[in-house]
Structure 1
Amino acid sequence: MGTVPVVPVQDPEQSIILTNHIDNPWHSVWFTQQNVSGVPEVVMGWLVAQGFEVTYVAEDTSTTPSTYTYSLGKYGMQPWQVLLSLCNSYTIAANDARVFNEARYNEIVEAWTNMISSTETHFSAEVDRQNADLGVYISDLDTYLDGIVTAIDGNRDDLTGDYDAHALLARGFLDDLGTTELARINEHFAATLSQQLSDLTDRGLYSSAVVTDITARNTRDKDEQIQALNDRLAREKLANQHQLYGQQVQLAQYKHQVVAAKMNAYVAKFEAWKGVHADNMKLMAYQLDERNKLLIGLYSFVERREDIGPEWKDMASMIAGLGDAAGGWITP
């Protein structure tokens, strides 16, 4: 069994974006001070209405009554300086936003491209590993199944050979069975016939008719005894044959049990390998799923991030407002 391919490391490749500190765009050049001196009293009121403030009062006592002149001043805005400053600030901010957006977009595209490439590499490694494991599995399966078939065939051949040898040996044991009993019967009836004929001779009854009858009866009784012996021997041989064959069948059943036990062991081994394979597949699926969840979460966060650049329409509105405000300024 091969080892589980390691999930490739995926660098998010998100660089740290540092923006410059934004200062208040206000500048001293935006404003200028306007001073007016020697203003007579009749004009002073109108200038005050225009936003001027009295900064000094001069009294001329040479006249009767005394004559007063005024010095006035006010701060005024220089629109072209404001416009130039705001345009510069807006342009810098817009360029920064564009650079950051382009950098982030390129990093996302590159990271996704690398992730797809590494995933394909990982899947390719998984396919190679699975093919290798499947080859080992199939090879071992063929080997074990061939071994099982060989064992079964061998057991069958052994059973046939054992039975043939057993039958031959049993026939050898049973061939001479009853020989002694047959000899005893022949000897018994021969002795009986001899005694009967001797008794007939002693009694003077020996004649061919009587001898023939006694001899026939003796032969018939002997044949009956021999037939009974043969029947008993046949039953004993058959019973012995069945007993020996039953023992041989039990031996064959035991051999079959051994083969079945081997088959169960092989099946258990195969199931164990399948279990390991299933666990590896679960592990790989878990690794890929978790890796993808992290990456998707990261990229979703990055994609939701926005660098909002200055809107040129806002700048145009500000310029228009600035023009309107400057339109009412009066330079005395």
Structure 2
Amino acid sequence: MAIPTVPQQLPSQTQIDLPRIQNPYLSVWWTTYNVTQIPQQSLGWMVSNGWRVTAVVPDPTTVPPTLNYQMTKQGLEPADVLLSLCNSYTIAANEARDANEIRYNEVVANWTEMIDTSHDHFDAQTNEQNVVMGVYLTDLATYMDEINEEMSLNRQELSLAYDQHKETTINRLDNLGQTELARINEEFAASLSVQLQWLVDNGLYTSVVATDIKARNTRDRDDQIQKHYDSLNREKLQNDHLVYGQRTAISEFTRQAIIDKMNTQVARLEGWKSVHADNMRLLAYQLDERNKLLTGLYSFVERRDDISPEWQNMATMIAALGDSAGGWLTP
């Protein structure tokens, strides 16, 4: 299982090279004004307003001759100046607006692409998480099934072995003591025969004595047999306690196996809860990151401030040109 690769996000910002702003000054702004027949009394005012004398022409019809002056002056053409400045200002403003729109559109496009690729990455993460969860749960279920199978098989084998052991023990207990019982009977029968033979050999045999000896022999034999039976009963009782303890141990083992199985199931449930919690944290992280991207994009769009021509400044300049136009055109 591979970790999803974060999509590459290129800035994709083109280089904007705006042309250098040229001085809008043009020679056509200036024109030469020439005037003639300027009387001498107007000469001072004309000179003070920038006029220059180019020639002195005497009037011979008067006595003495009257001096008239020809004068010239360099002045601006307001209409040409205004048109040139407006054109330069408009070109610069449009270039600035175009550059701003290009950059703005590129940023919006890049941000939108980032959101789209983020969604793709989030989807890949979710799919990978689901695959991991499926593999984990499948492995956990397989492991649990194997544990259950092993526990059931072990319990069955243990129960079968116990039943076989119990049956073998009972069979052995059923025949236990037969040899000892036969030995006791044989021992007391032989003892009785020896005693009776001794009476015969010594001439002491009578029916009363023989009966008494037989009764005593039988009583002693029965006592030994009873002791033997008591010993067998104690041994059988001890074996019963031992078998009961083994059965109790098996019951305890079965109970512990059930508890272990229950704990394993609880661990399995905790594993599911853990995977679910991981998925919820992943989804919360994805939602938070997507909201951050959207918030950033909308904030950027909301803060847009285009560079546009400041026509108020242009109007001020036009008014200034108009106010000073009279001095440029007429003396």
Matches within 5 A, 1:76-225: 76-201=75-200, 206-225=205-224
Q: TM-score, normalised by structure 1?
A: 0.75
Matches within 5 A, 1:1-332: 2-36=1-35, 39-54=38-53, 72-201=71-200, 206-239=205-238, 308-332=307-331
- How far apart, CA to CA, are the structure 1 residues paired with 2:194 and 2:313? 156
CA contact (8 A) 1:38 1:70 kept: yes
- How far apart, CA to CA, are the structure 2 residues paired with 1:184 and 1:134? 75
The one-letter code sitting in structure 2 at the alignment partner of 1:27 is L
Deviation at 1:233, TM superposition (A): 3.1
> SS state of the match for residue 10, structure 2?
coil
* 1:63-93 deviations in Å (ceiling 9; x for gaps): 9999876564433111001111012112212
CA contact (8 A) 2:184 2:225 kept: yes
CA contact (8 A) 1:5 1:126 kept: yes
Deviation at 1:226, TM superposition (A): 1.3
- How far apart, CA to CA, are the structure 2 residues paired with 1:290 and 1:138? 28
Deviation at 1:150, TM superposition (A): 0.6
Any gaps of 5 or more consecutive residues in structure 2? Answer: none
Distance 1:146 1:265, change over 3 A: closer
- How far apart, CA to CA, are the structure 2 residues paired with 1:196 and 1:226? 20
CA contact (8 A) 1:12 1:295 kept: no
CA contact (8 A) 2:24 2:85 kept: yes
CA contact (8 A) 1:170 1:241 kept: no
CA contact (8 A) 2:13 2:103 kept: yes
CA contact (8 A) 1:155 1:252 kept: no
CA contact (8 A) 1:40 1:68 kept: yes
CA contact (8 A) 1:7 1:287 kept: no
Any gaps of 5 or more consecutive residues in structure 1? Answer: none
Greater displacement, 220-229 / 172-181: 172-181
Deviation at 1:58, TM superposition (A): 8.6
C-alpha RMSD of matched pairs (Å): 4.9
CA contact (8 A) 1:35 1:71 kept: yes
> SS state of the match for residue 13, structure 1?
coil
Identity across the alignment (%): 56
Deviation at 1:235, TM superposition (A): 3.2
- How far apart, CA to CA, are the structure 2 residues paired with 1:263 and 1:105? 62
- How far apart, CA to CA, are the structure 2 residues paired with 1:187 and 1:155? 49
> SS state of the match for residue 223, structure 1?
helix
> SS state of the match for residue 76, structure 1?
strand
The one-letter code sitting in structure 2 at the alignment partner of 1:85 is S
Q: TM-score, normalised by structure 2?
A: 0.75
Deviation at 1:10, TM superposition (A): 2.2
> SS state of the match for residue 328, structure 1?
helix
Deviation at 1:17, TM superposition (A): 1.8
Greater displacement, 124-133 / 76-85: 124-133
- How far apart, CA to CA, are the structure 1 residues paired with 2:9 and 2:40? 82
CA contact (8 A) 1:93 1:309 kept: no
* 1:170-201 deviations in Å (ceiling 9; x for gaps): 33444443333222211221122223333444
Greater displacement, 257-266 / 79-88: 257-266
CA contact (8 A) 1:53 1:74 kept: yes
- How far apart, CA to CA, are the structure 2 residues paired with 1:322 and 1:55? 28
Deviation at 1:302, TM superposition (A): 9.8
> SS state of the match for residue 33, structure 2?
strand
> SS state of the match for residue 74, structure 2?
strand
Greater displacement, 140-149 / 216-225: 216-225
Greater displacement, 164-173 / 241-250: 241-250
Would you say how many aligned residue pairs link Structure 1 and Structure 2?
329
